[in-house]
Amino acid sequence: MNGSTHLVGVDVGGTFTDLVACGSDGVLHSAKVPSLPGEQWRGVLDALAALGVAPGSLRAFVHGTTIATNALLERKGARTGLVTTEGFRDLLEVGKGRRLVGGLFDPQWQRPAPLVPRDRRLEVSERLAADGSVVRPLDGFDFDALAAELRGKEVEAVAVALLNSYVDRGHERAVARALAGRLDGVPISESAALTPERGEFERTSTAVLNAYLTPVMRGYLIALQAALAERGVSAPVNIMGSNGGAMALRAAAERCAGTFLSGPVGGVTGAVRVAERARVEDVITFDMGGTSTDVALVHGLAPRMSHDNRIDAFPLKMPQLDIHTIGAGGGSIVWVQSDGTLGVGPQSAGAAPGPACYGRGGTEPTVSDANLLLGRLPVGRPLAGGLVLDAGRARAAFRGLGERAGGGGGEVALASASLRIAVARMAGAVREVSVHRGFDPRDFTLLGFGGAGPMHAMSVAEELGITRVLVPRRPGHLSALGQMLADLRRDAVAAWGGRVSELPIDALRARAHAMRAEGAATLEADGMGRERHRHEFTLDVRYVGQSFTLPVRWEPDDADWTPLRTAFDARHEETFGYADPANDVEIVNVRLVSIGEVDKPALDFTPQRAGDPVLERRSVWFGEWRETPVLDRERLPVGSRTEGPAIVEEAGGTTVAPPGWTIEVDPSGALRCEGGVRW
């Protein structure tokens, strides 16, 4: 591999770090090593070393990371201060009148405490009106005293969120610059620079999240870049963003809140490429790893995007793929709840000590232990990374679970029940991104990947009435592959509009051209030539009187509003079942996605080995013990067809086909699976 140049994608998960590299010869190579909690960059270096890639041969490096997510969930972010308009100090605690995620039906649920306590929320005597006019100027404000107070509170980052700054950033920019000059080295996050949209609470929360994470993310990026440079890696390093595109280190350090889904979005990006090659347009991605399961809906090869998000109940008003995550993975711990019933997750054995069957000190039963006891994983034959599973330790873990549960059932019954619970939870996650968004999951193909996704995809499909499942080659590395193939992406938004009947289209066209010029300049600054640029506009539109909007594609070259109005009525009827052509519509926001297209190598997924694909036959539990062939995916030729029950093994993933399912190798290299509906 040393005589070639390589594109590299690396995904750091809770249990494993996955890396893929594609050389100039088009051959794809992969590696999987244990993740190192607290030192993710060391896992990246270990993966590079395991792959044998010469550091000097790298020409592009895209990295998906969970640094932002972990820092927030573990409350290990920076000591943050907030500067806001006089009278709005308590906005973070007042919030909205409705309860947030997790609290609708739980009388004991409490919203998490703000990331910035009240004593670190300071006020500035300024005021802008809703139209941007100055009600109270900043003239004469004592910034020296403000900076001294922030220094006295030992803040490590500051968020600046002023009232109505989305209309005019002048005051907010002035406050940020004044503090930057007085707080040496303390990063400042401006709310309107991150998300210039209406919604004071959401915009303030976004700025606070960004400030809270900035020192942590910058520290990680500096350590990663230094470690790579020390080993001779000179290629540009990009970070995967939550919006489905990559961004340069500079942008990632400034917009840390845009990296919350850095890892999972790589999987969705890779899944779109797999679906496109397999000629399937509508898929639900099912990414099950060691600690969690991530699901997303892709309609017409376009992943759904969300602009109003919540991270651990904190509003985040930044674009990200509409991914739903639950704590159910291969390492999820099976436990006895207070009422004596079994629970699965969200606690995970993680990378250390890992499931009991890993033999690394773990003693709690996990989903992986259950799969091993039920014959779905091999005993004696190494998995990816050379790991050999220990069935005795898995059996002992479930024996202990049975004792805690009252001594009934036996290990096999407990393991089977654990998988049924996990499957039910994961099916609920799929319903969240489909049924709850107005889509019928039976109209989609379930695309299973991740280290544990293909093992459970068909069981989840049966739970939902889905009859088609697609499993890509190298499923355990699809997130890393998606990151390697990711284009650069920059999102911009402007609060602009009013009733369409009163708006001149030329004014919007001028604003759009200005936004496109800014997007092109940003991509060029990241080293992307204009010949690789692509710009796409959408407008947030609603009927007059509505509170929520729908995104509608718009071309600045449209002669009038007729195409927009026609498209919105059609979108509204598709979403809600009716349209109201007699009602006027209004534009709320203009959004621009600027894409810098990278070279995408042609990937060859044809079988790599000849010979009999049957590795062994063993008893596998499907409600009863069934003699089941175990097949080597590297030896399955295109067009080959297998009846379930069957197991297909490959590096980084195991596909389990229950009775009633068939597996056929698609020309794209993916496994096209079809089966009956259980209900």
* Structural domain boundaries in the chain: 6-71+218-259, 77-210, 488-596, 620-674
Q: Is the dihedral of CA 415, 421, 423, 429 positive or negative?
A: negative
Report the run of H or E that residue 417 belongs to, with start and end: helix 410-433
Task: Extract the tokens encoding 139.
Answer: 């003239």
Task: Extract the tokens encoding 478.
Answer: 């699809």
Q: In this structure, how many other beta carbons lie within 10 angstroms of the beta carbon of residue 144?
A: 10
Task: Extract the tokens encoding 552.
Answer: 């509608």
- Considering the four listed CATH numbers 2.120.10, 3.30.1490, 3.40.50, 3.20.20, the one that applies to the domain covering 488-596 is 3.30.1490
User: How many Cα atoms occupy the beta-carbon half-sphere of 425 within 13 Å?
Assistant: 23
Task: Extract the tokens encoding 388.
Answer: 């050999």
Q: Is the dihedral of CA 53, 56, 59, 60 positive or negative?
A: positive
DSSP secondary structure code for residue 105 in this structure: S
**Beta strands of 279-338 (E only): which ranges?**
283-288, 293-299, 302-303, 305-306, 309-311, 314-316, 320-321, 323-326, 332-336
Angle, helices 391-404/410-433, rounded to nearest 10 degrees: 90
Give the residue from 39, 71, 38 showing the smallest Cα distance to 156.
71
Contacts of 219 (CB under 8 A, 6+ apart): none
Identify the burial level of 526 via C-beta atoms within 10 angstroms of its C-beta, where 0-12 means exposed, 13-18 middle and 19 or more buried. Answer: middle
**CATH class held by domain 6-71+218-259:** alpha beta
**What is the widest separation between alpha-carbon atoms in the chain?**
82
Q: Is the dihedral of CA 222, 224, 230, 236 positive or negative?
A: negative
What's the rounded Cα separation, in Å, for the pair 268 and 277?
A: 14
Specify the pTM.
Answer: 0.87
Q: How far is CA 656 from CA 292, 326, 460, 660, in A?
A: 19, 22, 12, 12
What's the rounded Cα separation, in Å, for the pair 200 and 10?
A: 36
DSSP letters of 210-270?
Answer: HHHHHHHHHHHHHHHHHHHHHTT--S-EEEE-TTSSEEEHHHHHH-GGGGTTTTHHHHHHH
Phi and psi torsions of 587, nearest 5°: -95, 135
Put residue 418 in one of left, alpha, beta given phi > 0 → left and psi -120 to 50 → alpha: alpha
What is the pLDDT, as a whole number, of residue 608? 66
Report the run of H or E that residue 66 belongs to, with start and end: none
pLDDT along the chain (679 residues), means of 10: 71 80 79 76 81 80 84 89 96 75 63 91 95 92 95 97 95 96 94 93 96 93 87 86 90 90 89 93 93 92 89 88 88 89 86 86 93 93 77 93 80 94 95 91 96 95 96 90 91 89 90 94 90 95 92 91 94 90 94 91 70 92 96 92 94 91 94 77
Contacts of 62 (CB under 8 A, 6+ apart): 8, 9, 10, 237, 238, 239, 240, 246, 266, 483, 484, 486
What is the pLDDT, as a whole number, of residue 36? 75
- Considering the four listed CATH numbers 1.10.730, 3.30.70, 1.10.3470, 3.40.1360, the one that applies to the domain covering 77-210 is 3.40.1360
User: How many Cα atoms occupy the beta-carbon half-sphere of 641 within 13 Å?
Assistant: 4
What's the rounded Cα separation, in Å, for the pair 83 and 62?
A: 35
Q: How far is CA 444 from CA 124, 295, 461, in A?
A: 52, 13, 10
Q: Would you say 305 and 322 are in contact if contact means Cβ atoms under 8 Å apart?
A: yes
Q: Would you say 21 and 61 are in contact if contact means Cβ atoms under 8 Å apart?
A: no
Q: How far apart are the first and last CA of the chain?
A: 50
Give the residue from 274, 171, 213 showing the smallest Cα distance to 74.
213
What's the rounded Cα separation, in Å, for the pair 547 and 542?
A: 8
